[in-house]
Amino acid sequence: MENNDLKSPEHLLPEAKKPERETNKLPRIPIRWRWSVLVGFTVTIAIIVLFFIILDIEHDAWLENQAAQAELQVDRLTDELKLPLLSGSSTETDIVVHSFLEKVPTVLSVVIRYPDGKIKSLGSVSPSKTVLKALVKSSAVKRLPVKQLWYAKSVVYAKTSMGTVAVRFSEKQWENIADKLGQKIFVAAIVVVLLSGVLVFWIAGRMSRPIEMLSDAALKVADGDYQVRLPVRGNDELSDALYQFNVMASELEHKEELRDIFARYLNPELIKEVFESGDVQVKNHRQEVSVLFADMVHFTSFSESIETEGVVNLLNSHFEVFHRVIAYYGGHVDKYIGDAVMAVFNHPVNDKEHARHAAEAGLAINLACQKLGKKRPDGEPVSFRVGLNCGQAIVGNIGAAQRLEYTVIGDAVNMASRMSSIGNGGELVMPRKTFDLLGEGFDFQPLGLQNIKGVSREVEVGRVLVSNPSLLHSIEYVVDLAFNLALPEKNMPQTAGDT
């Protein structure tokens, strides 16, 4: 069975629907960590971009230096090859080239193209077709338009071309320079990222601390703790937000106090409308409800025999317990009419088993009267006649523009009132039609057909008793709970209708 909290009237109010948060399933990442990661990522990207810029500048500088050295080396080689090429001695040519390869370790290969188109390649790297195609006559040292470092120059003697020489230089030196540069920048990047991360984490922590306090305080307010307050320091947007939060919490606390006070006097539906919308715009409508009346037996003679304060105290002691019992079963007290209480079920909180729960509440009220054990001056126990009826009623605002009452009216209410006047003290009386809605666990003791004022035909009515031990035990427990709110709710037994 669903347990409606009995501790205080404000718990009878309908709870405001909390908006769903779309990010509930996402992991919670503090702002300081987000800033640290963001700055670290930005610094890393900046260092990578800077690395490639520096690498490109260094590469251009190295190429310029390499071009200058290549010009000297190729000029020297072509000068040494003039006589061997002029004499046509292949052996002398090979000796000069091999000697050049030994003296200049950065040279990987030498290619000679003779005037007749014959190609001779010496060294560890063979020229590609692209290199051979790009090998043209040139009076000065010129780099070939290929990816590798090929430099070429024509061998000219007495204005006669004896061939073209191309030299392939190694890029190993540049690879070593790039590796060392990358290692240094990598170490520098780690140091910069770590230092900037620590610094940003500290700064972001200082800045996000008020936001974290605001978030924690907002969670407490969402859970109903309106007494939380935040320390306000500084003179910026964050301090303004903290101050406004304190103002909001104070207003909510005051609003909740007013809500608690009004909840003792007004219908919960009205309280909800007023505090959530600021105006009462409740629509009048028809709705099936269960109406329960509990009327004190021989109240007139009782009130005449004792002092006024005694009458009020006795009624309040009974109504306090009745109120808790009715709230437990999902109903609410619509009004107190002198010595009688009128309770409504299935409004404003919908309940599919409102008739059954109203009957259980009526039986619990009778048990509560027995447990209170109050007696009238004549020695008879104080008891209440309880009547119940289920039917259609009009729900809406009744009264003048200056003074409205939000209540239920109609034949269903009148019938419930008449039922409370038929039975004796300690009895629950209802029409047969209402009894048929209760379900299992109850007995109906017919009282015959009754002429009910305002009803054109006779109505079959009867007393209702409990026939199920489990249901009786549940009702007894609810009565105990109404007297002792410290009982553990986790041991709440289920009624026969709830199993």
Q: What is the 3-state secondary structure (H, E, C) of 408-423?
A: EECHHHHHHHHHHHHC
- Residue with tokens 């103002």, as numbered in its chain: 247
pLDDT, greater one: 247 or 487: 247
DSSP lists the bridge partners of residue 295 as 340, 385
N residues, the chain? 499
pLDDT of residue 486 exceeding 50, the answer is no
pLDDT of residue 184 exceeding 80, the answer is yes
- CA distance to 266, 278, 399, per residue, from 403 (Å): 12, 17, 6
Backbone φ and ψ of 170, nearest 5°? -80, 150
| Amino acid letter for position 90 | S
Element (H, E) at 478: helix 469-483
Other CB atoms within 10 Å distance of the CB of residue 86: 13
Where in the chain are the domains?
A: 28-223, 282-491
Q: Is the pTM of this model over 0.75?
A: no
Q: Residue 464 in 3-state DSSP?
A: strand
Among 408, 418, 420, residue whose Cα is nearest residue 365? 420
DSSP 490: G
Mean pLDDT for the stretch of residues 414-423:
88
For the stretch 303-359, pLDDT in tens is 877 888 888 888 888 889 999 999 899 898 888 888 899 999 988 788 899 999 999
DSSP string, 188-251: HHHHHHHHHHHHHHHHHHHHHHHHHHHHHHHHHHHTT-TT------SSSHHHHHHHHHHHHHHH
Element (H, E) at 156: strand 149-157
How many Å apart are CA 406 and CA 282, to the nearest integer? 9
pLDDT of residue 12 exceeding 60, the answer is no
> What CATH code is assigned to 28-223?
3.30.450.20
Percent of the chain with pLDDT over 70: 85
DSSP string, 287-333: EEEEEEEEEETTHHHHHHHS-HHHHHHHHHHHHHHHHHHHHHTT-EE
Q: Do 370 and 323 contact (CB within 8 A), yes or no? A: no
Confidence of residue 490 (pLDDT cuts 50, 70, 90): very low
Mean pLDDT for the stretch of residues 422-447:
91
Q: Do 331 and 12 contact (CB within 8 A), yes or no? A: no
How many Å apart are CA 373 and CA 384, to the nearest integer? 12
| Amino acid letter for position 71 | E
Among 445, 452, 451, 449, residue whose Cα is nearest residue 424? 445
Backbone φ and ψ of 105, nearest 5°? -65, -15
Element (H, E) at 23: none
Confidence of residue 420 (pLDDT cuts 50, 70, 90): confident
Element (H, E) at 115: none
Mean pLDDT for the stretch of residues 381-390:
91
pLDDT of residue 418 exceeding 50, the answer is yes
pLDDT of residue 26 exceeding 90, the answer is no
pLDDT, greater one: 138 or 493: 138
Q: Measure the CA angle with vertex 220, ends 214 and 224; round to 5°.
A: 135
Among 281, 257, 259, residue whose Cα is nearest residue 271? 259
| Amino acid letter for position 413 | V
* The token pair that represents 127 in the structure block: 């020229």
Whether CATH 3.40.50.2000 fits 282-491: no
- CA distance to 9, 86, 157, per residue, from 160 (Å): 117, 10, 5
For the stretch 452-468, pLDDT in tens is 887 778 889 999 999 99
pLDDT of residue 165 exceeding 70, the answer is yes
